[in-house]
Structure 1
Amino acid sequence: MSPHLIALRAIVAREALRFLHQRSRFFAALVRPLVWLVVFAAGFRAALGLSITPPYTTYIEYETYIVPGLCGMILLFNGMQSSLSLVYDREMGSMRLLLTAPLPRWWLLLCKLLAGTAVGVLQCYAFLLIAALWGVRLPALGFLTVLPALVVAGLMLGALGLALSSLIRQLENFAGVMNFVIFPMFFLSSALYPLWRMEEASQLLRDICAVNPFTQAVELIRFALYAQPNGPALGWTLLAMAAFLGLSLWGYDPARGMMRQKT
């Protein structure tokens, strides 16, 4: 086995063991979307009317509409959780040891990104199963066709977490990142309400939501659940992933990036 594959296996195994030992992390990842699905959806169902827009061919319940957005929420928080673990590893010294391995730094960061994405995808499938048991009707084929969309969205949001981890110096600053990155990205998106509802309130607000990378990731997941392609959403998600990944590689470059004093 090549050194690159050995490193990939070791990093993925480490993330899997960490995830298994932190069972509260798994349940916490499911509590947030389930609260929205069970509690908030009941209150918003009457307040937010939904028109027949692609990929839907008929009127749907509000719970059905927000499921893709809640999958995106899981991936978003998982990406931020991964960035938090990177900051912790850097303070403990294990991140420095990892980045000094005799392998390309971009490969080590990519392995970390793949491992975190795999954990997020598993959490999404657990949530989709619970949503189906709760009564949310989703196409059976969608559980298969949504996998590539979840992987692409998870990689994009995980790359964002990687980029942020190069900027966060201390664990205490993570709460600020939660307030200024996660919540604006989530609420200024199509996760909870369609863009045409935002346009009724403000055209500017609608445009901000449309260019939000998280919106594109959610729409990619939404269409994939109904086995329909969404080329623009896929293109913008891949573009955002490339930008965030490039920023993270620059940030972890000791010669030029934000980590020059840390590694």
Structure 2
Amino acid sequence: MIWWIALRAIMAREALRFVQQRARFVAALVRPLIWLLVFAAGFRAALGLAIIPPYTTYISYETYIVPGLCGMILLFNGMQSSLSLVYDREMGSMRLLLTAPLPRWFILSAKLVAGAAMSVLQVYAFLGIAALFGITLKPWGYVAALPALAITALMLGALGLALSSLIKQLENFAGVMNFVIFPMFFLSSALYPLWKMAESSQLLYRLCAVNPFTHGVELVRFALYAQFNAPALGWTVLALAVFMTAALRGYDPARGMMTKKG
């Protein structure tokens, strides 16, 4: 019972913070909408798309990048969650939370679940707006995408947790995020299929192929069309386990920065 109360309290705190930060919600939607409505118009002619799974016919470029833009929302929100953790640590509330009579892994997992839930809600808000502009999916695709979005959000949130254990000061956040977000996003299948990348550079293709964000995007892409992508699921879950392990080690008082800075 105490675990459920703690989980509910942490999720309520994250929800309250989300409601109070309306600008964050608007920015999370404006960013992918700019790509969908502006950049896609310019790239449409330059990036011809072949018929590749999960698609069974030729599609518009706007349709192709929708799963990648969903991933963009999850990625940026995962990094924003790490920012809030750094802020909480500087204010002292993170140390207070971690000294609660509950396992450290549960506290961090609860914050991870709460952040992922907020991210998934924003993705569905984006999909609703995209539908108004003609980018629609089959109704079952919206349902099938929920577990894929949740797993991808947890994976990217765990990455944010791991990074937050390494960032000592809030001022260092922007540099670290730029070093992580943009390489992960652009070296992925979010904006262009991997076969297109292979045509230009085998090295970049291999980097995209090992990028956990690529597998998260592909997991979401297939799920939006009610199809299952086992390799993408396996790699995404593996990345989630690795990032969460790194986060738990980083927040371990015996070896992490919690001993160096509250």
Task: Give the TM-score, by structure 1 length.
Answer: 0.99
Match of 2:123 in 1: 124
CA deviation map 1:79-110 (0-9, x unaligned): 00000000000001110100000100000000
CA distance in 1, matches of 2:137, 2:80: 28
Please give the root-mean-square deviation of Cα atoms over the aligned residues, in Å: 0.7
CA distance in 1, matches of 2:235, 2:19: 33
CA deviation map 1:20-49 (0-9, x unaligned): 111111001001000000000000000000
Q: CA deviation at 1:174?
A: 0.9
Q: CA deviation at 1:180?
A: 0.6
CA deviation map 1:47-104 (0-9, x unaligned): 0000000000000000000000000000000000000000000001110100000100
Q: How is 1:70-89 mapped onto 2 (pairs within 5 angstroms)?
A: 70-89=69-88
Match of 2:7 in 1: 8
- 2:13 corresponds to 1:23: no
Q: Which runs of 4+ in 1 moved over 3 A?
A: none
Q: How is 1:43-54 mapped onto 2 (pairs within 5 angstroms)?
A: 43-54=42-53
CA distance in 2, matches of 1:90, 1:200: 45
What percentage of aligned pairs have identical amino acids?
Answer: 77
CA distance in 1, matches of 2:101, 2:177: 34
Q: CA deviation at 1:258?
A: 2.9
- 2:175 corresponds to 1:176: yes
Q: How is 1:87-126 mapped onto 2 (pairs within 5 angstroms)?
A: 87-126=86-125
Look up the equivalent residue of 1:15 and give its one-letter code: E
Q: CA deviation at 1:261?
A: 1.6
Look up the equivalent residue of 2:114 and give its one-letter code: A
Match of 1:167 in 2: 166
CA distance in 1, matches of 2:258, 2:89: 10
Match of 2:135 in 1: 136
SS in 2 for 1:150: helix
Look up the equivalent residue of 1:257 and give its one-letter code: G
CA distance in 1, matches of 2:208, 2:244: 22
Match of 2:190 in 1: 191
CA distance in 2, matches of 1:145, 1:133: 20
The size of the alignment, in residue pairs, is: 262
Look up the equivalent residue of 2:25 and give its one-letter code: F
Match of 2:241 in 1: 242
CA distance in 2, matches of 1:178, 1:82: 12
Instruction: Give structure 1 stretches of 5+ with no counterpart.
Output: none
Match of 1:204 in 2: 203
SS in 2 for 1:136: coil
Moved more, 219-228 or 175-184: 175-184
Q: How is 1:222-237 mapped onto 2 (pairs within 5 angstroms)?
A: 222-237=221-236
CA contact (8 A) 2:168 2:261 kept: no
CA distance in 2, matches of 1:212, 1:124: 21
Q: CA deviation at 1:3?
A: 1.1
CA distance in 2, matches of 1:256, 1:169: 14
Look up the equivalent residue of 1:96 and give its one-letter code: R
CA contact (8 A) 2:78 2:156 kept: yes
Match of 2:146 in 1: 147
CA contact (8 A) 2:154 2:240 kept: yes
Match of 2:33 in 1: 34
Look up the equivalent residue of 1:132 and give its one-letter code: A
Look up the equivalent residue of 1:104 and give its one-letter code: P
Look up the equivalent residue of 2:112 and give its one-letter code: L
CA contact (8 A) 2:188 2:208 kept: yes
Look up the equivalent residue of 1:28 and give its one-letter code: A
CA distance in 2, matches of 1:105, 1:201: 46
Q: CA deviation at 1:170?
A: 0.9
